[in-house]
Structure 1
Amino acid sequence: MSKSSLNAIEQLQNIMEQLRDPQHGCPWDKQQTFHSVIPHTIEETYEVVDAIHKQDWPNLREELGDLLFQVIFYSQLAKEEGLFDFNDVVAEVNDKLVRRHPHVFGEQHFVTQEELDANWNAQKQREKQSQGIEQQSILDSVPDALPALMRANKIQKKCSQYGFDWGELEPVVDKVREELDEVVEEAVQVPNNSERVQEEVGDLLFSVVNLSRHLGINPELALGAANHKFVRRFKGVEHHVEQRNKSLSECSLSELDGYWNAVKAAEKGQVSENT
């Protein structure tokens, strides 16, 4: 790390200390706690992701700074409570990265990705044991606070490492179809049980995550891309409506569907022209 970078980090730490100063600090910053900062950390993380998706590199630089400030904030709170400080955070991640990459910083060699993953997991387990952390389940390491889609993927990957997984695609696809049928079966009941329907929809989503994993697709990224595509196309629908001096509420479903198909066709035409 360069001298200028070190000075910049030290300046940021000093700013944080001033913001938390009991007498002269910012009233908002002074009243924050570990728990109250959490929503801001989540928001800043998603803003980093959004900047990357949009390839807005100047904004990404700004958002990464905001995310770094979250780490500085938590470190300052910990320092005030005598738990640790920012330097401890950096030292620990440095040690961990070197320790978990013996093929880069040591003499070990791995031929396959499987060997690399096995060493990574074994090293993580040794670290937990050395810290006195005993897991009752292999799934204890999957954070509860993860977004549901991401957590489902991690749960399934963890179980797969221990052989609890299908080795072929066909039963995975069959399971998706089975869960979809069960959703429909519950949904058409008169009256239907909303809790049962919710449970079956959850099972369906879990099976779709499993299908994504078997196809080598990150479900979080896939759904994110689908969201972006839908928003882009719906804005195209809104443009068609605006060109006709109408509002969305004045259009029938068949009209809106026609505009949607026109937007899709235009997009496909652009793809064809560029290939």
Structure 2
Amino acid sequence: MFNVAQLLQPVSAEQRCGEDLSFGPEVDAIARARIYDDPTLEQGEWETALKEADWPLVASRCADMIATRSKDLRLAVWLAEALAKTRGLRGLGDGYAVLAGLCELYWTDLYPLVDDGDYDQRIGNLFWLLARTPFLVQECAAAAPELADAEYCLASLIALERVVDTQLGADGPGFSAAREAVQSVVRALAPYGGSVMIAESAQATDGNVVMASAGGLHNRTQALQQLRLVADFFRRTEPHSPVAYLAERAANWGEMPLHVWLRAVIKDPAAIAGVEELLGASPATE
């Protein structure tokens, strides 16, 4: 069982983040284990066996080194990739959780160290994983993911985004493409509460995951959830638009009894009484 908390324990009392292993042979060995040949490339007449990455080895060694040797952001993003390759969306979520914990608990001393206020290396490591996320999610989605795993992955990604935003502010890498990739899986799975297969022809060319759909909305809970997804979309893409506010407000109203809703939108007690009498709505007992 993968243990996120164990990887977030200090390496030692003397050196919480351990040592810098950036140029050590252990990191070089992991880098070699990640190398694989692209099966879609033309080999010509000298056809050879394709090299495959050893993802279980990458995951195991990265986790061990983070726990016992070095709190290193590059090892952490490699770990997240390897976990996605070996354990799907649940693994990718664990990878995000490790990254969020490292950035929150060890930001001052985390490797790579910050040189005179220059965070470029750390930003580059995070950007690399976020850019890879839509492709990793697409691979995971093809393996019939579970809703719980997709939701966990999304929650971990959002937690990472919040920590990075706290640490880097406007200088941090963009999360929108990665978040949308995971959200698209959650949206597709949420109405069904279980695993579904992805139609091979439904893979989007822009990196977003398109799931096979089995119909529209079936109950009010799903409808309210869709309103909140609409609000989230416009909040991210058009923050100046009133649509996000109105959709969120409509979703909140949808969960209110009529007498509560009337008091939320009408402030005149006499007017409320008149509307309640007209509609036959009984006021709540005080």
* Range into which the TM-score falls when normalised by the shorter chain: under 0.3
Provide the TM-score with structure 2 as the length reference: 0.26
Point out the structure with the larger helix share: 1
For CA contacts below 8 A with separation 6 or more, give which structure has more relative contact order: 2
Provide the TM-score with structure 1 as the length reference: 0.26
